[in-house]
Structures are given as C-alpha cells and as structure tokens.
Amino acid sequence: MTGTGTRRGLSFYLLAAFFGLFVLFLYGPIATITILSFQGPEGGLTFPMNGVSLHWFRNLFEQQAVGDFGGSFRRSIALGLTVMVLTVLFSLLAGFAFRRRFLGSGALFYLAVASLIVPSILVSLGIGLLFNILGIEPTWYGSALGAHLTWTLPFGLLIVFAIFNRFNPAYEEAARDLGATPWQTVRHVVLPILLPSLIGVGLFGFTLSYDEFARTLMTAGSFNTLPLEIYGMTTNVTTPVLYALGTLTTLFSFTVIGLFLAGVMILRRRRLRRTGAAA
C-alpha cells in the first residue's frame, strides 16, 4: 500500500525487477572482482577462495614480471587531466561562439559531433596511420590526446549547448546596465552560474579519457595507458593481482566522482547562502 492508500500495479513490480537485474548485471562483476582480490597467497582466479589477505594488493606495488602498473596509471591520470581541461576550455569557447548563428554553424556543429557515430577503433586506426604517414611517432601525450578529444569534445559541446539554451541573458543585461565590461560580465556573472555544469563537463571528460581503450589502442605508441595495461595483463597475468588492480582502479573512479559531486554541492550551498544574504 502507498501513502495514498492505492495498490501498486503490476508494471511497478516488473520495472522494479528489471531495475534490480540491471543493477546486478552492472555491479555483480565488480563485486566478484573485489571479493576475489582478497584471496590468500595461494589463491587463484576463481571461487572458492583460498584464504583471505591483502597479499595481492601488496604484490601489485612490487616489481611485476610483466606490466607497468605505476607508469601506466600516471600516464592515464596525466592524459585524463589534460583532456579534462581542454574539453572544458574548448566546449566553453564553442558555447560562447555558437550563441549567435554564423555562416556554416550548422554544418560545423554536425561535423564536430560526427565522431560519436564513427567506430572508435576506426578513429584510432586512422589517427595512427596519419601519424605514421607524416613520420611522427604516435605517443600517449600527442596522438592519443587528439584521439581522446575526438571522443570527449562532442559530449562536452552537447552539454554546454544545452546549458546555454537554458541560460537567462537577463543576468548579462543587468551586469551591462550596471557598467560591467564584457569580460567582467563573463567573469563575475556567466562563469559563476555555469561553474557547476562545467565541473560536470570536466568530470565527464576525465572519466571518458581515463578508461578509453579503443581510441588509445593504435595511438598510444610505445607506452601503455592503464586500460591498455590491464588488457595486456589479462593475457599474461594468471594471479589475483589483476583483480587487485581492478579493485583499486574502481575505488579510484568512485573517489573522483565523489570529490566532484562534493565540489558541486559545496558550490550550490555557497550560492544559496549568498542568495539568502542578498535577500
């Protein structure tokens, strides 16, 4: 029975069961990997577990016979942060540019978002071949950076365009009426209003880059990023150290998301306090 005294229909329970299966399918493998990462020193890759310990987490930070977890993790972090900054910057600038229509704006928009429908492996292959033809060695900070931007920028553009479509230009008009210059209007009025959404764009860009595999495969060069390193370890490593790596990377991903969400909540609370003080 609900609060209004009416019974829930059959559709509610069917949707609830479907949602439960979705959550199980999504987080079941993550839970399985997390549990198996705590195998004992003699444990294997499957159930039943042979003891419980932190052995494989300690082993992860020791010298491995194959793989370079530390180096690949640092490269993925550096690449993700660079992609995040560039995605926010270019998306914001494009949002300002597209506020007024200009010749070819429609074609330019569709050209920018077209890479979303192109298979990622083809984009990676094309960029890798282009660098080879030009005689430039593909690198994770060069060709892979460009490949990641072809993936993150269209999402950033779509989000920023949606933000500007909801933006009330009356705030800018009020600032200009009070004598603010165009730069002061952008800095003190537009950007503070857009900041929570821009944080979301940055988080989106970072997460898309951090776990991108297909567009990195042919463009990273001699040094792997973390997704490529994990893929290589699946064919060489036969111990639960691989599960320990998966557990730590998953924990890191959730931590990053939590920090960004906390930042957004803090910004909203500060805005509400300022609004209340002004009132």
**Does the pLDDT at position 5 exceed 70?**
no
Using alpha carbons only, give the angle 104, 110, 116 rounded to the nearest 5 degrees: 155
pLDDT at 178 over 90: no
Q: What percent of the chain has pLDDT over 90?
A: 24
Residues 6+ apart with CB under 8 A from 225: 72, 75, 76, 79, 140, 144, 212, 216
Which one is predicted more confidently, 23 or 46?
23
pTM of the model: 0.78
How high does pLDDT run on average in the chain?
Answer: 85
Q: How far is CA 227 from CA 1, 29, 57, 73, 223, in A?
A: 48, 17, 18, 9, 12
What is the phi/psi pair of residue 139, to 5°? -135, 160
The arithmetic mean of pLDDT across residues 191-213, rounded, is: 88
**What CA–CA distance (Å, rounded) separates 119 from 101?**
30
179 has a pLDDT exceeding 50: yes
Select the more confidently predicted residue: 2 or 179.
179
Which pLDDT belongs to residue 1?
47
- Which pLDDT does position 187 carry in this prediction? 87
What is the secondary structure of 144-205 as a DSSP string?
Answer: HHHHHHHHHHHHHHHHHHHHHHH--THHHHHHHHTT--HHHHIIIIIHHHHHHHHHHHHHHH
Q: What is the pLDDT of residues 15-28, one digit of tens each?
A: 999 999 999 998 88
d(CA 204, CA 202) in angstroms, rounded, equals 5
Residue 237 banded pLDDT, cuts 50, 70, 90: low
